[in-house]
Every structure is written in structure tokens, then in C-alpha cells.
Structure 1
Amino acid sequence: MEIIVSDHDKRRKRRLTVPREQIEWYPAIDPDLCNSCSSCFDFCPKEVFASGPREEGLRCRPKMTVAEPYRCIVLCSACERICAAGAISFPPSEAFEHLVEYTD
């Protein structure tokens, strides 16, 4: 089941119902799909991503890693749409909806 968030809810302030460190909502990067473009790093305002270790061989740039997972905004998955390679994924959002309250 896909959760549709209205434009109204996107503009509302969110409050977590438990401490952020207890919420395992953050991106995962498939290293086989990551093409080292750094679009996730450039896009994310919370600095969740960082360059990984440099690989041996022909690669000029290291693949991206999730360096600060708990900086990720709960229920935000915008970087998944930014990744042209399709390397970023998130857990199902419906499992986390109850951990966020919307306030006015």
C-alpha cells in the first residue's frame, strides 16, 4: 500500500512521537547500482551522505555511503527520486507513519 501525502501535509510541521535515535528510517544505497554521481550528497540538506572509500581500478570517484543515517528526516524520501541510477531505497513508509504527528 502506497501512502499519499497531500501538499498540505508536506507544508505542516512534523513532530516525532519517539526519540529520533529509535526510528530506523534512513536510506540504503545499493553499491552495485551507485554510479558515484554525488547527486544525493549535493541534494540532501541534512548531510546524510558522504563519499565512501576509494576503490582500486578504473573508478575515479568513490561510491556514496549513508554516513549520518539519523540526520535523515523521517518520512522524507526525496533523495530516492533524485538518484538517477535507482541506487537509493527506503523502508515502507506505512511502517513509520505512526511515529510522526503533524502540527499546525
Structure 2
Amino acid sequence: MSDTAKKRRRGRLTVPRKEIAWYPTIEPDACNSCCSCYDFCPKGVFASGEVEGLRRRPKMEVTQPYNCIVLCTACEKVCAAGAISFPKREDFERYVEYYE
């Protein structure tokens, strides 16, 4: 299958989304409050956390984890601080069924 054909494939979940624990986690000590994850994510997974101490910009938090698209890791790549991580992809591939 060509790369173009792979990109056109669509998937559907095999179980309800609330049963799939696929979502990002943010390492608070690594987050630099740049908001790139918030600006990038079209699903509204991220939001600003509470302002702590003298920090002007709050750290980002995952506030809508089940809005995250299963197997998507794009926000991990846009995080310049490397603060975003996901569980192992292989453990979740069984939840997506692909069709054309």
C-alpha cells in the first residue's frame, strides 16, 4: 500500500471512547507554559492550569483527555520542551479498525 493510500484510510473505534485510556500526560517540571499544545490541538484537550507562586503563565494541563483522538501523537511533536508523552502505541492499536 502506498503512503498516499495509508493517509486516506479512516478508522473507527472498536469500543466506546471512554473505555480507551489513550491521552497525553504533561510532565509539569518540563512544561515551560508556551501553550503550543493548546494552540495546536483542535480537540481542546489542553487548558491552562492554576497560577502558582510568582509564575505569570500557568503550566498546561490535560483537562479533556477523552477528546484526544486515539493514536494521535501530534501534540507531542509540537511541544518544544518535550513535556508531553503518550502510552505505548502498540497497546492501543487493537482499539482502531481501519477501512477505506
C-alpha distance 8-55 of structure 1, shift in aligned 2 (>3 A): farther
Write the letter of the residue equivalent to 1:82.
V
Alignment partner for residue 20 of structure 1, among 17, 28, 31? 17
- Normalised TM-score (structure 2): 0.94
Which of the residues 25, 30, 33 maps onto 1:33? 30
Segments of structure 1 that go 5 or more residues without pairing to the other structure are 1-5
Where do 4+ consecutive residues of structure 1 move more than 2 Å? 6-11
Indicate which of 56, 59, 62 corresponds to 1:60.
Answer: 56
Structure 2 spans left out of the alignment, 5+ residues: none
Does residue 85 of the first structure (1) align with residue 78 of the second (2)? Answer: no
> May I ask how many residue pairs the two structures share in their alignment?
98
Q: CA RMSD in A?
A: 1.1
Structure 1 residues 54 and 7: CA distance shift in structure 2, 3 A: farther
Question: For 1:21, what is the secondary structure of its paired residue?
Answer: helix
